């Protein structure tokens, strides 16, 4: 089996993937802080690591995928106070909204979604172990990690100690032993939620939660730790210091980070006014289009969002769907297959191999998508040829649909979008107006087949007004109908 190569942020190179335990893969991906709807920057790692998980499962690995919710945080507390809510109530509201957005992007649920609020015993025990080893120190109800006690601090971000301190979001606290020491436990402030601990009432710092939860669900060392590039420092750097400081072994074997999101060529930023919630983009484009576009760029490269690029992605997705629709129509009955079937199937297998070759090379979804378009072109050409084999076409369609599904792209429209529902309602209305009394609700494809059959009947009966009515209405609905030597095909423009 060809090896999978992964670009490891830790080494800065591509490495052959060899899981710690043969056949099993443990993945941890940092999840959102639940004080608001997620933004498009949160959406990218959702799609990227869902796709990596899907591909590893396709290759036969038993994958345990863990992604957390930070439901205890300063931002949550501040917003909850402003809205007159309990912090937990606010966090749970946005966890529910997260699942809606994730479903719209066709992201499979994680195997485990640990919440900070439900793992206080593990977090407190982890901090206690660091204090006992002399790596962390209590300070008047707070507990800090001493970066001087971890000699490899900074190895992930590849920056000097001085650079790390300059670039860190360091708390202004003159009591600390070192300016770069970071909080593991924060003393409770009046009116804030808190938990009892050996150091007094308080709550955990941001970084310790992930060390505690990865340890619980994935062990002292696991295979893949993922997240956005913005998490390399300080979050992931501090996780490493905590976990490796306690256990003395690598926290994760491979560190994978996706690139940044830009909006119209500028880095997304609240201060620049180009900060977009994912929900805002989902109001304009189906989740499948957004996912398709995110995967059209290699995960480590920056991805730029603008309406023109999303519109192009929508057209590209429709090209693949149209290939499946048209080939499925022609595969309805067996034709007199000639020698082209074997050649066709050989070409489809070559595209399948190219897809896997791209994914094996650091999950290069951009090249993998290119192979899908080539496969769609091959299927279209064969479907329009004389004597095409229905059996061969079905095999080609199955390969295209399966490969797209690995990327989380549904070419069968099994999840109906609002746009599709509107189109189907318009088709049903047209059928009713054309005298199809008692017509039963069906899929878009079934309704189109009925309309095209009715159009052919009108033409045979020289009812040109009826045939033109169907043609003109479909044109208004952006449905293109083409009459070919092999039959009539249609697609959404």
Listed by start position, the domains of the chain span 7-258, 306-406, 418-492
- Nearest Cα to Cα of residue 403 among 123, 16, 54, 83: 54
pLDDT at 174: 73
Report pLDDT for 459.
85
Structure tokens at 150: 């971890």
Structure token pair of residue 373: 């378009």
pLDDT at 462: 86
pLDDT of the residue at 274: 66
- Tell whether omega for the bond before 234 is within 30 degrees of 0, i.e. cis: yes
Options 3.20.20.10, 3.30.420.40, 3.30.590.20, 1.20.120.640; CATH of 306-406: 1.20.120.640
**Residue 460, phi then psi, degrees to nearest 5:** -65, -35
- Domain 7-258 identical in fold to domain 306-406: no
Asked if 256 contacts 7 with a C-beta cutoff of 8 angstroms, the reply is yes
Interval 140-194: pLDDT, tens: 999 999 999 999 999 999 987 776 565 554 455 678 888 889 999 999 999 899 9
User: Where would I find the beta strands (DSSP E) of 242-354?
Assistant: 252-258, 261-263, 266-267, 303-305
Residue with tokens 């009459």: 483
**Phi, psi angles (nearest 5°) of residue 21:** -115, 125
CA-based diameter of the chain, in Å?
92
C-alpha pair distances (Å), 273 with each of 40, 179, 263, 276, 419 = 14, 32, 10, 9, 29
Question: Quick one: CATH architecture of 7-258?
Answer: 3-Layer(aba) Sandwich (3.40)
Buried b (16+ CB within 10 A) or exposed e, 384-414: bbeebbbebbebbbebbbebbbbbbbbbeee
Q: Where are the alpha helices (DSSP H) in 200-306?
A: 206-218, 237-247, 278-282, 287-295
Strand partners, 222: 252
Strand partners, 139: 142
In the predicted model, residues of the chain with pLDDT beneath 50 are 1, 169-170, 439
What global pTM score does this model have?
Answer: 0.84
Q: Are 392 and 344 in contact (CB under 8 A)?
A: yes
State the pLDDT at residue 310: 92
pLDDT of residue 223: 98
Rounded to the nearest angstrom, the gap between the alpha carbon of residue 468 and the centroid of all alpha carbons in its chain is 44
Contact by Cβ (8 Å): 488, 474: no
- Residues in the chain, how many? 493
Q: What is the pLDDT of residue 314?
A: 92
Cβ proximity of 339 and 310 under 8 Å: no
In b/e form, how buried is each residue of 161-170, taking b as 16+ CB within 10 angstroms? eeebeeebeb
In angstroms, the Cα distances linking 445 to 203, 221, 316, 409 are: 55, 50, 19, 19
Residue in 181, 188, 224 with CA at minimum distance from that of residue 26: 224
- For the sheet with 266-267, list strands across it: 266-267, 261-263, 303-305
Which pLDDT value is given to residue 115? 97
Alpha carbons 259 and 265: distance in angstroms, whole number? 14
């Amino acid at each position: 089996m060809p090896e999978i190569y992964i670009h490891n942020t830790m080494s800065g190179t591509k490495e052959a993937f060899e899981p710690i335990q043969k056949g099993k893969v443990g993945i941890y991906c940092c999840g959102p802080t639940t004080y608001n709807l997620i933004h498009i920057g949160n959406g990218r790692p959702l799609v990227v690591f869902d796709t990596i998980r899907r591909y590893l499962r396709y290759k036969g690995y038993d994958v345990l995928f863990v992604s957390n919710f930070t439901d205890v945080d300063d931002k949550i507390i501040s917003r909850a106070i402003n809205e007159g809510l309990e912090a937990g109530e606010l966090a749970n509201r946005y966890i529910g909204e997260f699942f809606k957005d994730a479903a719209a992007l066709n992201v499979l649920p994680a195997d485990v979604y640990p919440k900070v609020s439900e793992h206080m015993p593990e977090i407190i025990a982890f901090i206690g172990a660091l204090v006992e080893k002399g790596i962390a120190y209590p300070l008047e109800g707070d507990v800090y990690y001493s970066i001087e006690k971890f000699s490899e601090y900074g190895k992930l971000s590849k920056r000097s100690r001085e650079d790390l301190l300059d670039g860190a979001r360091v708390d202004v606290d003159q009591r600390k032993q070192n300016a770069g020491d970071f909080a593991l436990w924060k003393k409770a402030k009046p009116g804030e939620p808190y938990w009892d601990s050996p150091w007094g009432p308080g709550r955990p710092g941001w970084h310790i939660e992930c060390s505690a939860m990865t340890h619980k669900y994935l062990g002292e060392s696991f295979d893949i730790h993922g997240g956005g590039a913005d998490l390399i420092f300080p979050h992931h750097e501090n996780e490493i210091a905590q976990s490796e400081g306690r256990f003395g072994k690598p926290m994760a074997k491979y560190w994978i980070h996706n690139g940044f999101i830009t909006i119209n060529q500028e880095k997304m930023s609240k201060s620049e006014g180009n900060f977009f919630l994912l929900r805002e983009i989902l109001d304009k484009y189906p989740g499948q289009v957004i996912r398709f576009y995110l995967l059209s760029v290699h995960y480590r490269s920056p991805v730029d969002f603008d309406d023109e690029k999303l519109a192009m992605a929508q057209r590209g997705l429709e090209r693949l769907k149209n290939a499946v629709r048209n080939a499925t129509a022609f595969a309805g009955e067996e034709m007199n297959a000639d020698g082209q079937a074997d050649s066709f199937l050989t070409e489809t297998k070559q595209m399948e191999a190219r897809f896997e070759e791209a994914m094996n090379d650091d999950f290069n979804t951009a090249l993998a998508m290119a192979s899908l378009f080539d496969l769609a072109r091959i299927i279209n050409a064969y479907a329009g040829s004389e004597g095409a084999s229905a059996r061969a076409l079905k095999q080609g369609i199955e390969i295209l649909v399966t490969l797209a599904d690995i990327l989380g792209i549904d070419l069968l429209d099994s999840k109906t979008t609002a746009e599709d529902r509107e189109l189907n309602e318009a088709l049903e209305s047209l059928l009713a107006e054309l005298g199809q009394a008692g017509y039963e609700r069906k899929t878009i494809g079934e309704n189109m087949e009925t309309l095209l059959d009715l159009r052919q009947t009108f033409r045979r009966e020289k009812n040109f007004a009826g045939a033109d009515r169907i043609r003109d209405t479909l044109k208004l609905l952006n449905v293109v109908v083409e009459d070919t030597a092999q039959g009539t095909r249609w697609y959404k423009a």
